[in-house]
Amino acid sequence: MSVITPSAISNIAMNGQIDGLIRHAVDSHPLIGSARAEQQATTESIRAAKLNLLPAPTLSSGYDRDDGMVSQFQLRQSLWTGGKLTANVNQALFDDKAATEYIYEQQNQVAKTTIEAWQSYITAVSKQQVYYDNLQLLTEFEEMMQRRVNQGVSARIEMDLVTNRILQEQNSYQAAVEQQRIAIARLEQITGRKLSAADLPVPNIGELVSYAKGYSQTFEKMAFDQASFYNPTVVKGHYQVEAAKQEVKSLQAARYPTFYAQYEYDYYHDENRNNNQNNSEGEFSVGLSYDPGAGLSNLALARASASRVNSLSQSKEASRRQVLETIQTQYQQFASAKDQERSLIAAVAGAQIVVSSYRRQFIAGRKSWLEVLNAVREHSQYQAQLVETRTSIIAAYYKLQVDFGMMPWQKFDQSRQPDPLFRPLDPVKNWFIRQDAARQVPDQAVIEPVVLQSDHVAKPKSATGVNTYPLPVNQ
C-alpha cells in the first residue's frame, strides 16, 4: 500500500502551478495566435484545392457588331490533368500539417521562455532566504562585537569589518529582490495577465529537485534515442519536404495535356435578330489543352522545385542534428547539475561546521575575527550556488519534458497519425465498399418472447392437438 506524504502532495501541487502557468502562456501568447491563424489559412487551402476538382463555371458578356450583346456561359470539368489537381490537394494537406507543427514549435518556445522566467523567480526568492538568514547571523555577530568593543576586548576596526559585511549582504539581498521583480514582470508579459501571490507560490526547491530526480529516470534513453521524433521542428521539416515533393509533381504535370469535358451556352440579348439561336440547348464537347509555358518554362520550374526539395531535405537533417545536440547537451547539463548538487550539499554542511567551529575558536582566542567572517561569507556563497544549481535542475527537468512532449497540454498525437495520400476516386471506392459490406451482413435471428400461459387459459394447439409455442424465426 503506497502512502502519499505531505511533501509529495506539495510537489504535485507545485507541479500543477507551473503547468498552469505554462498552459496560460501557451493559450494566450500572440506568437501562438499568429501560428494558429496561419494554420487556419492552410486549412482553407485544402478546401480550395479540393474545390478545384469540381466543374469550373465561366460567365462572360461581350458586344458583337453583327449579333449585338452576347453572354456566354461555360462549364468545364477536368477529366485528366496528369496528376496536377491531386498533387495540389496533397501539397495543401502537408502544408496544413507543417503549419500545425509550427504551432507546436511556437508553443514549446513560449513554454521554455516561461520556464526560464519562472526559474529566475524561484532563484531570486530562494536567494533572498539565504541572504536573510546570513544577515540575521551577521547582525548577531555585530551585537556581540559591539559588546566586545564596549568592553575593550576587541578593536574598533573589527566592528567596522562586520558592519561592512552586513552592507555587502544587504546589497546581495536587494539584488535578489530586484531579480524577483524583473522575473514577475517577465511572467506577466508572457502570460498577458497580472499575477498574484497565489499564482506564484514560494516552492521548496529541495523537494522539487527530489521530485524531478524521481521522474526523470527515462530521460537519458529518450534524449539519445527518440528525441528527434517528439520535436516539432524536425516533424515540421519532414512535412515541408513532403509538400515540396507534391509541388514538384504538380509542376511536372505540365508535361502532359489536360483532357476536359465542356458545356457551352451562348445567349443573344437582341431577340429580334437572334431569337432562333437562343432556343438552342448549348453545346457539349470534349477536348484537350496543353500549356507548357513560354519557352517551356513550366518544365524549368519543375526542375527548380526538385532542387528545392533537396534543399529542404538538407535543412531538415540539419535541424534534426541541431535539435539532438541541444537536447543531449541539455540532458548532460541536467545530469551534471545533479552531481554538482550532491557536492554542494556536502560543501554547505562543511561550511556550516567551519562557521560554528571558528566562532568558538574566536572566543577562545585561536581564530581571528576576519577568519570567522570569511567562513560566514564562504558558507553564504555555497548556499547561493546550491540554490542556482537546484533551480537549474528544476528548469532543465521541465524543459526536457517540453522537448519530449510530456507536458499535459501537448497533444502531438492528434496531428501525427499516418494519413493516406488523397486520391479523387477514394470516396467512390469507399462507397462501393460500404455497399458490399451492407449486403454481406448475415441475417439476424429475432427471438420472440415465450409467454407461459396459466392452466385456465386455453393453449394454442396444432392440427394434431399438440400444444404449440412461438419459435425463433429468421427474417
Q: Which residues pair with 58 in a beta bridge?
A: 74
- How sure is the predictor about 274, in pLDDT bands with cuts at 50, 70 and 90? low
More confident residue, 382 or 62: 382
Residue 429, pLDDT score: 77
What distance separates the 2 farthest-apart alpha carbons in the chain? 134
More confident residue, 69 or 175: 175
Q: Is residue 288 part of a domain?
A: yes
For residue 287, is pLDDT > 80? yes
Q: HSE on the CB side for 410, CA within 13 Å?
A: 25
- How sure is the predictor about 47, in pLDDT bands with cuts at 50, 70 and 90? very high
What CATH number is attached to the domain comprising 403?
1.20.1600.10
**Average pLDDT in the 112-125 region?**
94
Q: Is residue 442 part of a domain?
A: no
Q: Report if pTM > 0.85.
A: no
Q: Is residue 167 part of a domain?
A: yes
Q: Is residue 138 part of a domain?
A: yes
Q: Is residue 120 part of a domain?
A: yes
Q: Is residue 470 part of a domain?
A: no
- How sure is the predictor about 462, in pLDDT bands with cuts at 50, 70 and 90? very low
For residue 296, is pLDDT > 90? no
Residue 135, pLDDT score: 95
- How sure is the predictor about 463, in pLDDT bands with cuts at 50, 70 and 90? very low
Q: Is residue 473 part of a domain?
A: no
Q: Lowest-confidence range among 39-48, 157-166, 350-359, 424-433?
A: 424-433
For residue 440, is pLDDT > 90? no
CA angle 222, 228, 232 (to 5 degrees): 120
Computed over every residue of the chain, the mean pLDDT equals 83
Chain centroid to Cα 117, Å, comes to 19
Q: Is residue 196 part of a domain?
A: yes
More confident residue, 290 or 245: 245
Tell me the CA distances in angstroms from 394 to 16, 98, 130, 151, one per residue in order: 14, 31, 18, 50
Q: Lowest-confidence range among 9-13, 34-38, 225-229?
A: 9-13
For residue 366, is pLDDT > 80? yes
Q: Lowest-confidence range among 29-38, 54-63, 292-301, 344-353?
A: 292-301
Within 8 A by CB and 6+ apart from 41, the residues are: 99
The residue segments making up the domain with residue 247 are 19-324+399-417
For residue 11, is pLDDT > 60? no
Residue 280, pLDDT score: 63
If one counts the domains in the chain, the total is 1
pLDDT tens-digit map of 174-214: 999 999 999 999 999 999 888 887 778 877 898 999 989 88
